[in-house]
């Protein structure tokens, strides 16, 4: 049976909500936690656009990506990602970085829904 968790992001910081979401997606809040299985949970983040974030954090936080080709290293600020992908893009990056880097990470990310 799938358990649904709703997290209200209004007035909370991005990192706090992302870390709580990552713990739930990994199943660490469950009594039958197993690190090699995906937890049977769904996480819905509501009021993502009302998240508390400072102007300095938007300008100075850098997100890096690399295409694998020479000269393919790019950096973007949080403000630029917010303009391009909205709050959903920022939350996906934050939660993705907090999950373990293994084959289960994409399966855990499919169980995340972000609503403005």
49-76 residue pLDDT tens = 999 999 999 999 999 999 999 999 999 9
pTM of the model: 0.93
Domains of the chain and CATH, by start? 3-54+86-114 (3.90.1180.10)
| CB neighbour burial string for 9-18, b if at least 16 within 10 angstroms, e if fewer | beebebeebb
Sorting pLDDT into bands at 50, 70 and 90, what band is 14? very high
Q: Cα–Cα–Cα angle for 87, 85, 88, nearest 5°?
A: 35
């Amino acid at each position: 049976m799938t358990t649904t968790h709703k997290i209200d992001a209004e007035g909370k910081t991005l990192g706090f909500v992302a870390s709580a979401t990552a713990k739930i997606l990994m199943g660490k809040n469950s009594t039958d936690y197993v690190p090699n299985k995906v937890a049977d949970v769904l996480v819905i983040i509501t009021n993502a656009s009302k998240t508390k974030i400072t102007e300095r954090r938007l300008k100075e936080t850098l997100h890096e990506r690399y295409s694998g080709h020479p000269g393919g290293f790019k950096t973007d600020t949080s403000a630029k990602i917010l303009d391009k992908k909205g709050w959903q893009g920022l939350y996906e990056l934050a939660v993705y970085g907090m999950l373990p880097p293994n084959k289960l990470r994409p399966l855990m990310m499919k169980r995340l829904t972000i609503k403005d």
